[in-house]
Amino acid sequence: MLCAGTFVDAGANLGDTLTSWYGDPSCALGVRTLRPEGVKCDWRWPWWLPLHVRRRWCAEAFEANPQFTTRLLRTAERLEKRHGIRVNVHAQTALSVRDGNATFGLDTLHGTGSSLQLHRHALDAQNRKNAGARVGDNTATVRTVDATPFLDAVGGRGGPIALKLDVEGSEYDILRDLLMSGVLCKRVETLWVEFHSTRDGAVGTPARVDEVFKWMLETHNESARALQQAWLPYTSARCATTLLQWS
């Protein structure tokens, strides 16, 4: 199948977002926000990516937590059979700023199986005797993939990219490299970011840098604010990326 575009789900978890991408209509139609009566819809999907368009896209799903692998693979297989699309699952793999391997800590204190930021494991392990430590000896070695060349290669195959970043603090390093390289503005048309506390970022991450990233991406052309109010995608000679909130 020829992909009309590619949805890159970084932090795919059990595959709930993939299921919504291929299954839920957009709640926003045109510049008016409407909820079709009796129809389940998802406010996260903008009107310029309606369901019939999204179902023609392929997907690349990244999930580092090994506890989620089996269910994520099942979800991908079900979606492929149902919609005739391709979903590549990068299991036990994290989108990152370099190719290689990393130690991945598992949050077992809260019983949710939620993963922590990769580079925070060493610090948490040192303090695991403290009451606030969330990660002890429950770790796994996972693969890391450099987001910059990966997205550049995906974009080179043709079609737009929609990128969701829910990577527990790694978004700061990833966005820095994508912006500095020009790959973000060149390749990614729609971007969702769940910004975590800067304390969850790499050592040296400035406080409130999330606001700086938002400012750069939301003001790269003079009509951005007006267009955002109308919930429209915008383009400019500088950057093709439209930033949306993920939660």
Secondary structure of residue 51 in the 3-state scheme: helix
Task: Please check the confidence at residue 232 and state whether its pLDDT lies above 70.
Answer: no
Task: Please check the confidence at residue 231 and state whether its pLDDT lies above 70.
Answer: no
Cβ–Cβ < 8 Å for 102, 96:
yes
104 is written with which tokens? 């991945």
Task: Please check the confidence at residue 51 and state whether its pLDDT lies above 90.
Answer: yes
**DSSP helix, strand, coil percent of the chain (3-state; round to 5):** 35, 25, 45
Q: What residues does each domain of the chain span?
A: 6-103+141-245
Q: What tens digit of pLDDT does each residue of 61-101 get? A: 999 999 999 999 999 999 999 999 999 999 999 999 999 99
Return d(Cα 184, Cα 175) in angstroms, integer: 8
Backbone angles phi, psi at 58, to 5 degrees: -90, 175
121 is written with which tokens? 């494991």
Return d(Cα 118, Cα 94) in angstroms, integer: 9
Residue indicated by tokens 């939620």: 114
Task: Please check the confidence at residue 52 and state whether its pLDDT lies above 90.
Answer: yes
Q: Of the spans 61-75, 101-115, 187-201, 224-238, which averages the highest pLDDT?
A: 61-75
Secondary structure of residue 231 in the 3-state scheme: coil
Task: Please check the confidence at residue 121 and state whether its pLDDT lies above 50.
Answer: no
- For residue 29, the model assigns a pLDDT of 54
Mean pLDDT of the 103-123 span: 55
